[in-house]
């Protein structure tokens, strides 16, 4: 489970809409959020629902999109976790997909960076031939 911290503007036929969302997990020790990837290709009804929430929770804006007060908790699936410098967590979810909104959870209950690190390590224990 993670939270949305930024909505990114779409391009082309999705111009004027938010078409992808920057996801983050928490670090309970530092009380900070760390980014882990972007999710896109959402069904139109999900994009519309998120747009309503984004408009109510936006805190600032830049050329790519709007930053939001973390309030939406989503459950995501992914193909794998990769190490990267692109996101502040040091990890990226490859091909993340939103499974569902977690209205039963708060941002204080989302997964943390340590769990992400453990999941990263576990994927190589399960599939050792993929490790370098």
Q: Indicate whether 71 pLDDT > 70.
A: yes
Q: What is the pLDDT of residue 128?
A: 53
| CA dist., res. 36 & res. 53, Å (int) | 21
Q: How confident is the model at residue 60 (pLDDT cuts 50, 70, 90)?
A: very high
Domain boundaries, given as residue ranges, for the chain: 2-130
- Once rounded to an integer, what is the mean pLDDT over residues 89-96? 95
- Once rounded to an integer, what is the mean pLDDT over residues 45-65? 92
DSSP states along 84-100: -SSSTTSEEEES-EEEE
Q: Indicate whether 38 pLDDT > 70.
A: yes
Mean pLDDT over each residue of the chain, to the nearest integer: 90
- Once rounded to an integer, what is the mean pLDDT over residues 28-52? 90
Class of CATH domain 2-130: mainly beta
Q: How confident is the model at residue 129 (pLDDT cuts 50, 70, 90)?
A: very low
Strands 91-94 and 65-68: unpaired
97-111 per-position pLDDT tens digit: 999 999 999 999 999
User: What global pTM score does this model have?
Assistant: 0.89
Burial of 85 (0-12, 13-18, 19+ CB in 10 A): exposed
* Sequence-ordered list of residues with C-beta below 8 angstroms from that of 12, at least 6 positions apart, any chain: none
| CA dist., res. 31 & res. 119, Å (int) | 21
By percentage, how much of the chain surpasses pLDDT 90? 72
């Amino acid at each position: 489970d993670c939270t949305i911290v930024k909505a990114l503007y779409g391009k082309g036929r999705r111009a004027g809409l938010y078409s992808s969302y920057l996801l983050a997990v928490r670090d309970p020790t530092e009380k900070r959020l760390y980014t882990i990837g972007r999710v896109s290709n959402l069904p139109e009804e999900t994009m519309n629902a998120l747009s309503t929430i984004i408009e109510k929770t936006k805190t600032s804006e830049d050329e790519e999109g709007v930053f939001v007060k973390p309030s939406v908790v989503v459950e995501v699936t992914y193909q794998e976790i990769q190490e990267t410098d692109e996101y502040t967590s040091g990890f990226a979810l490859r091909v993340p997909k939103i499974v569902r909104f977690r209205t039963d959870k708060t941002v204080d209950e989302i997964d943390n960076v340590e769990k992400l690190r453990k999941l990263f390590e576990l994927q190589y224990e399960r599939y050792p031939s993929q490790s370098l």
